[in-house]
Amino acid sequence: MSSHPINLGLRFLIELAAIVSFGIWGWQKGEGWVRFVLAFGIPILAAILWGTFRVPNDPGKAPIAIPGILRLILELAIFVFAAWALYDSNFVTAAWLFGIIVSLHYISSYNRILWITKQ
């Protein structure tokens, strides 16, 4: 189920939502020029981490290969931080909805979870 086009599309959308939530949080928490650094820097850093530390063949080439369990921890950390960022930015309903959607995605991608933990 994890490679179904609808699930892959959902995964892409929740990744984008996480990046946007980091930007919103950074914008709200910063002042002056720090606001711009946080609003753009945190999402860029998250995207770099997401794209750099990967499990080989998940899918494609891994710039820096890491064990599957570490990749899973990285993914969960990013998604948990995104939900918390929404919550901390007073988007409580959005935070809960995001968390539920991410949970449903991981439940429907159980075969990927099993595969990635063996890598």
The per-residue pLDDT for range 5-60, each reduced to its tens digit, is: 888 899 999 999 999 999 999 999 999 999 999 999 999 999 999 999 998 877 77
The pLDDT, as a whole number, for residue 50 is 92
CB count in 10 Å sphere of residue 26: 21
- How far is residue 40's CA from residue 53's CA, in Å, rounded to a whole number? 20
Report pLDDT for 4.
76
**Residue 23 has which token pair?**
């930007």
Report the percentage of the chain scoring pLDDT > 90.
71
Provide the 3-class DSSP secondary structure of residue 54: strand
Q: Decide if pLDDT at 68 tops 70.
A: yes
**Can you give the pTM of this predicted structure?**
0.90
Contact 79, 95 (CB under 8 A): no
